[in-house]
Each structure stands twice: as C-alpha cells, then as structure tokens.
Amino acid sequence: MKVAAIAAIVGASNRRDKFGNKSLRAHRLAGFKTYAVNPIEKMIEGEPAYARLADLPAKPQRISVYLPPVRTLAMLGEIAAVGAQEVWFNPGAADEKTADHGGTKAGHDDPPNVPTSIVRREHSIQTKTPAPIQISHRVGESD
C-alpha cells in the first residue's frame, strides 16, 4: 500500500473563504495526508490543528504557507528545522525580505540556517495571479 505524501498547511483556518482552508481541502482531494498549522484553532475541517510545525505527528514532505510576510519571516527557522522537500510561500506570504532570508536570489548563496536552494515565482496562466514562491531543498545535496 502506497503511503500518502504529507502536506502541512501553515495558516489554515476554519474560514472556508480563506486560501489556507482551500489549500487544505485541495491537498486532501489530491491524496495528501494534511496537517493544519494554526496556533489558535483546535480543529480545522474535522481534523486536529497544530500550534507549531514541531507539534506535527509526522514530517511533511510539503509545507504550504498562508501567512503575512512578517509572520512568515518569524517562522523561517521553524520551517527550516522540519526539513521538508518543498516549501511554498503563496502570494501574500512572502516579500523580498522573506525571499532574501529564506532562499537564493541571483548572485547569493544559500543562507546556512535555511536548507533551501530554489526560489521561483511564476504567474498562473489560468488565474492571472502570481503563483507561489517555491523554495525547495535539492535532495541529495549537502547544505
């Protein structure tokens, strides 16, 4: 039996009109085991919510972030400590300061405290809105 990939949705909430909640539901529909990360909510979409990434019962392969940039920046150390293969900073969750601290930019080396290698922002063809910034660790490379 194949084990489902795990996705942690940071900033998920019970408000179904919010993108964190929509992402949680979309990841579930795509076959992911999901964990909602929210320091206030106790349950989201019928599952327990966790206050911190460190509280999750299993390591996620993907972290998708739906926070304001200042809160995202404050969480970068916690995000890095998880060691997920993919970290997605969705539109509105990261700004230049976050990207400078959390990943690479042209001419910059990876910051030693954040194990990441790729920062990419593209535009979605379907929605004409900015797509998430992806910061991914290159599997098999040392930090």
pLDDT tens per residue across span 24-37: 999 999 999 999 99
Weakest-pLDDT range from 72-76, 77-81, 115-119: 115-119
* Residue range 39-66, pLDDT digits in tens: 999 999 999 999 999 999 999 999 999 9
Please tell me the predicted confidence (pLDDT) of residue 2.
60
pLDDT, tens digit, 9 for 90 and up, residues 101-110: 654 333 333 3
Number of residues that make up the chain: 143
Residue 134's closest CA among 92, 88, 94? 88
Distance CA(54)–CA(79), nearest Å, equals 9
The b-or-e profile of 64-79 (16+ CB within 10 A means b, else e) is: bbbbebeebbebbeeb
Q: What is the DSSP letter of 53?
A: G
